């Protein structure tokens, strides 16, 4: 038998490093035609591996091996094992990509946002927190005991970089009972109140009857969670949130405030805590006058004032962004709650920024 007419399985086995008859191996070593066939297998393998590497960024190339006496599309084609493995790997990678695409499509985006009266935001009032997906349509009311603000919010679409929504708000003076407002009738007509919101650029929205609302929010790929008073469990990249704070120095617990919260809700503000016997502590993500550097890692913040070392513990993550993170801390030991009427979030929390 002419060895050149041997089945392609032998040549494929030789390429894959499997045992073949010695006579066949010696023939291939000296036969130009058989060695050319081996080179063709090498070319096929290179093309398949290239397909596996480039499938996500370019169309899969059509491999057209040269026609020869051993490779005829009209007959049986013998594929080396390396080629089968390469095709299998390509299929797995493409399948993973399809699964990830399906996951993105089956997990709609969420819009986490706040609506705050402009004058109350300036005084440090904690804002109302909202969480919405495409199709959200709801009414809310809040106020200070003398004036109630009724608001109708419709979220038409949440996209990766913007939100299409409509907001209509009205001030009701000398009204204290939200049940008397009949918001669904008074604010039902939302036409003319549509807007596009892009995260990172707060919007001001006029209130019918006087005043202004400030809309601020972010787009996330999961449903945000909140604790007491609507404080988010997950701080944003430039936020500090401390929940159920515990302050420790050495082996002493100086403060354990269950249910309390403090938040740095803007770049020009600080989170604040009053600790009896210590003073008024301020925490911010950028340096300010009189502040020293502390180090926050998830739910733990360590800092040193004078010769005294402190550890502040929170029920959840303190800072957004990468961990650990620098937090600037100051203390006013002469501040007292009784004498100055301190309330968390008051203007006193505004540091003198550098």
**Distance between alpha carbon 40 and the CA centroid of its chain, in Å?**
48
Which value, to the nearest 10 degrees, does the dihedral of the CA atoms of residues 153, 157, 160, 163 take? -40
Each residue's pLDDT, cut to its tens digit, for the chain (354 residues) gives: 456 665 567 777 777 777 878 887 788 778 877 877 777 777 676 666 666 666 555 555 555 544 444 334 444 445 565 556 655 655 555 655 555 544 444 568 999 888 888 877 555 455 667 889 999 999 888 776 678 888 999 999 999 999 999 999 998 887 766 666 788 888 989 999 999 999 988 999 999 999 899 998 889 888 776 655 566 667 877 888 888 899 999 989 999 887 777 777 666 778 888 898 899 999 999 999 899 999 999 999 999 999 999 999 998 889 888 899 999 999 999 886 554 444 443 334 444 443
Bridge partners for 113 per DSSP: 130, 217
pLDDT for 341:
45
What's the order of all strands across the beta sheet hosting 279-284?
252-256, 246-249, 308-313, 300-305, 292-297, 325-332, 279-284, 271-275
Tell me whether residue 16 is exposed, middle or buried, using C-beta atoms within 10 angstroms of its C-beta: 0 to 12, 13 to 18, 19 or more. middle
Please state, in angstroms and as integers, the Cα–Cα distance from residue 350 to each residue in 238, 271, 293, 322, 344, following that order.
Answer: 16, 9, 18, 25, 11
pLDDT for 309:
96
pLDDT for 349:
42
Sign of CA dihedral 144, 342, 229, 122: positive
CB 309 within 8 Å of CB 349: no
Concatenated DSSP letters for 305-325?
ETTEEEEEE-SS--B-SSSSE
Sign of CA dihedral 168, 174, 176, 181: negative
The whole model's pTM is what?
A: 0.45
DSSP state of 345: T
pLDDT for 296:
95
**Strand residue runs (E) in the chain:** 110-117, 128-132, 137-143, 147-158, 163-173, 194-197, 203-206, 212-220, 240-243, 246-249, 252-256, 261-264, 271-275, 279-284, 292-297, 300-305, 308-313, 325-332
Cis bond before residue 328 (omega within 30° of 0)? no
Please state, in angstroms and as integers, the Cα–Cα distance from residue 233 to each residue in 216, 223, 278, 322, following that order.
Answer: 17, 11, 27, 16
pLDDT for 342:
45
Crossing angle of the two packed helices 81-106 and 32-54, in degrees rounded to 10: 10
CB 186 within 8 Å of CB 163: no
Rg (CA), the chain: 34
> What is the rounded distance in angstroms from the CA atom of residue 45 to the CA atom of residue 63?
10
pLDDT for 285:
92
């Amino acid at each position: 038998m002419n060895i050149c007419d041997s089945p392609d399985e032998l040549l494929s086995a030789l390429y894959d490093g499997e045992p073949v008859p010695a006579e066949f191996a010696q023939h291939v070593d000296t036969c130009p035609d058989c060695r050319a066939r081996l080179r063709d297998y090498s070319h096929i393998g290179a093309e398949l591996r290239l397909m596996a590497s480039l499938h996500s960024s370019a169309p899969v190339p059509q491999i057209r091996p040269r026609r020869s006496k051993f490779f005829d599309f009209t007959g049986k084609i013998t594929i080396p094992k390396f080629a089968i493995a390469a095709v299998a790997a390509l299929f797995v990678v493409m399948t993973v990509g399809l699964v990830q695409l399906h996951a993105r499509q089956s997990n709609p985006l969420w819009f986490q946002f706040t609506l705050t009266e402009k004058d109350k935001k300036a005084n440090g009032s904690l804002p109302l927190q909202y969480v919405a997906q495409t199709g959200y349509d709801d009414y809310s009311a809040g106020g200070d005991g003398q004036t109630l603000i009724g608001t109708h919010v419709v979220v038409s679409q949440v996209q990766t970089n913007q939100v299409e929504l409509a907001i209509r708000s009205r001030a009701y003076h000398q009204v204290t009972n939200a049940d008397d407002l009949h918001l669904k009738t008074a604010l039902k007509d939302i036409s003319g109140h549509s807007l596009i919101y892009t995260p990172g650029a707060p919007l001001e929205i006029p209130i019918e009857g006087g005043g202004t609302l400030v809309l601020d929010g972010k787009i996330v790929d999961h449903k945000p969670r909140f604790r007491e008073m609507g404080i988010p469990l997950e701080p944003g990249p430039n936020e500090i949130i401390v929940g159920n704070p515990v302050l420790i120095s050495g082996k002493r617990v100086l403060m354990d405030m269950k249910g309390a919260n403090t938040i740095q809700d803007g770049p020009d503000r600080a989170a604040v805590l009053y600790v009896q016997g210590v003073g008024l502590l301020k925490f911010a993500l950028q340096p300010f006058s009189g502040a020293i550097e502390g180090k926050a890692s998830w739910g733990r913040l360590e800092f040193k004032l004078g010769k005294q070392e402190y550890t502040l513990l929170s029920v959840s993550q303190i800072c957004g962004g990468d961990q650990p993170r620098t937090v600037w801390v100051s203390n006013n030991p002469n501040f007292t709650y009784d004498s100055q009427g301190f309330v968390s979030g008051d203007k006193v929390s505004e540091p003198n920024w550098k």
